[in-house]
Amino acid sequence: MSMLAPLERFRLLQRRRLAAAGASKSILLDRFRLLRRRRLISLVPIVAIVIILPLLFSSAYYYRVAALVFLFGIAALGLNLLMGFAGQVSLGHAGFMGIGAYAVAIGPTAFGIPPVLSFILGALLSALVAFVVGRPILRLKEHYLAVATLGFGILLAIVFTNEANWTGGPDGMAVPQLILFNWPLRGAAVWYWILAVSFLVGAVIALNLINSPTGRALRAIHDSEVAARVLGIDVAQKKLMIFVISAVYTSIAGSYLALLDGYITPQISGFLRSIELVAMVVLGGMGSVAGSLVGAAVLVILPQALTLFDEYEHVVLGLIVMGVMIFLRAGIVPSLAAAFGGGRS
């Protein structure tokens, strides 16, 4: 009797939650079921887009914008694992972008480490940093977690700005080219393919993670930490694990950004960049892999499109962000999916 009580309570709770949570939650759950059934098939349209898009591109400019979409898609995907699946907010993820970026900048110039190795070391360093700061930070909840992660991101930005001997200070530093098998990676088209493939690999890993026992444990944490704990899930350990994975995704995106631009400034880990990443996740749709890419696409392409509005650019950008969140509350992809047939075919 007493042994059954927690389980029963959990089921009751789940049912109550489902009933009360309204549209957004049930969309998320539908989405999960869909993902479980379809798994990787859901990536087919994205693969198709990756192949078809270049046919429409008339210049390197398009390749660059599209490459940036996939790049920020990787970062948003990482943050989405943390926010959408584990329900933990982070306002400091750009800090990890900075670690990845400065790793490929400082590694080769100061220590003579080959760029490819620096790239990997950057991801490992981000994982280590996330592991060390994650445990205490993730004990906090909601807004307190938000301010703690915010502080973490700002701390890193301050370090990148002040340690000018290493980072070039606020003016930034040049990043050596990535050379693979004697072939220097340059040109927007090359980066388009690298980033598109990287995003797809990242998406496959994310989908597998979501559908693993760990993924189910994470969703339980998202719905109710207490219930998850009652079910015997090591909440702290799972949260830490997803935080580390999420940091690695973002760090890799940061390394790519540094290599793509060939130049970085501390803005890469600034507060505004962190906010932008969160906005990509929420706009595209929390808990949606495709949503991460759509969110990134919106925020990368909008500033290019809005140059039409000249000085009214920010007015329009603000209105669009507010409008999307008001009318497509669960994010663009889940909301549209629900509007056109509830995500089931």
Partner 1 sequence: MAEFLQFVFSGITVGAIYALVAIGFTLIYNASDVVNFAQGEFVMLGAMGTVFLGHAGVPLLLAGVVAVLITTVVGLALYRWAIVPAREADAVTLIIITIGASIFLRGVAEVVFDKGFHSLPALLGSNPIRLGGATILPQSLVVLAGAFFIMVLLWAFIDRTLFGKAVRAIAANRVAARLVGINTRIVVGASFALSAAIGAIAGILITPITLTSYNGGTLLALKGFAAIMLGGIGSAVGAVVGGILLGLLEAFAAGYVSASYKDAVGFLVILAVLFVMPRGLFGKATVERV
Partner 2 sequence: MANFRVAAAFAAVGLATALLACPASAQVKIGSVLSVTGPASFLGEPEKETLKIYVDKINAKGGIDGQKLQLIIYDDGGNANAARTFATRLVEQDKVVAMVGGATTGTSMAEIPVFQDAQIPFISLGGSIRIIQPVKKWVFKTPHTDRMACEKIFADLKKRKLTKVALISGTDAFGKSMRDQCIAVAPKAGITIVHVENYGPHDSDMTPQLTKIKATPGVQAVINTGFGQGPAIVTRDYRQLGIPYPLYQSHGVASKQFIKLAGPAANGVRLPAAALLVADQLPDSDPQKPVVVAYKKTFEAKTGKPVSTFGGHAYDALMIFAAAAKRAGSFDKAKVRDQIEKTKGFIGTGGTFNMSPTNHLGLDLSAFRMLEIKDGEWTLVH
Please choose which of partner 2, partner 1, none residue 53 contacts, taking the beta carbon within 5 to 8 angstroms, the exact cut-off set by kind.
Answer: partner 2
Q: How far is the CB of 314 from partner 1 (least distance, A)?
A: 3
* Comparison of 182 and 311: residue with beta carbon closer to partner 1: 311
* Comparison of 150 and 259: residue with beta carbon closer to partner 1: 150
Distances (CA, A) of 49 to 43, 53, 193: 10, 6, 12
* Comparison of 196 and 217: residue with beta carbon closer to partner 1: 217
Query: Where does this chain touch partner 1 (CB under 8 A) — which range of 36-44, 51-59, 326-334, 335-343?
Result: 326-334
Q: Which positions touch partner 2 (CB under 8 A)?
A: 34, 42, 44-46, 48-49, 53, 56, 58-62, 64-65, 68, 161-162, 164, 169-172, 174, 188, 257, 261-265, 267-268, 290, 294, 297-298, 301, 303-305, 307, 311, 313-314, 332-333, 336-337, 340-341, 343-345
Strand partners, 173: 264
Backbone φ, ψ for residue 175 (5° rounding): -115, 125
Contacting partner 1 (CB under 8 A), which of 33, 38, 61, 144? 144
Work out whether 14 is an interface residue with partner 1 (CB under 8 A).
Answer: no
Contacting partner 1 (CB under 8 A), which of 35, 77, 83, 210? 83
* Comparison of 137 and 188: residue with beta carbon closer to partner 1: 137
Q: How far apart are CA 91 and CA 150, in angstroms?
A: 5
Work out whether 304 is an interface residue with partner 1 (CB under 8 A).
Answer: no
- Residues with Cβ within 8 Å of residue 195, at least 6 apart in sequence: 67, 70, 71, 74, 256, 260
Work out whether 61 is an interface residue with partner 1 (CB under 8 A).
Answer: no
Tell which residue, 94, 60, 61, 50, has the closest CA to residue 203. 50
Work out whether 171 is an interface residue with partner 1 (CB under 8 A).
Answer: no
Q: How far apart are CA 34 and CA 333, in angstroms?
A: 14
Where helices occur in 57-141 by DSSP H, the ranges are 60-80, 94-111, 115-137
Tell which residue, 308, 310, 327, 301, has the closest CA to residue 65. 301
- Indicate the burial class of 185 (C-beta count within 10 angstroms; 0-12, 13-18, 19 or more): middle
Tell which residue, 210, 209, 297, 194, has the closest CA to residue 253. 194
Contacting partner 1 (CB under 8 A), which of 7, 111, 143, 234? 143
Find the binding residues for partner 1 in span 245-264 (CB under 8 A).
none
Backbone φ, ψ for residue 184 (5° rounding): -70, 130
Work out whether 224 is an interface residue with partner 1 (CB under 8 A).
Answer: yes
The footprint of partner 1 (CB under 8 A) covers 13, 22, 24, 83, 89, 136-137, 139-144, 146-148, 150-152, 154-155, 158-159, 162, 224, 226-227, 271, 275, 278-279, 282-283, 286, 311-322, 325-327, 329
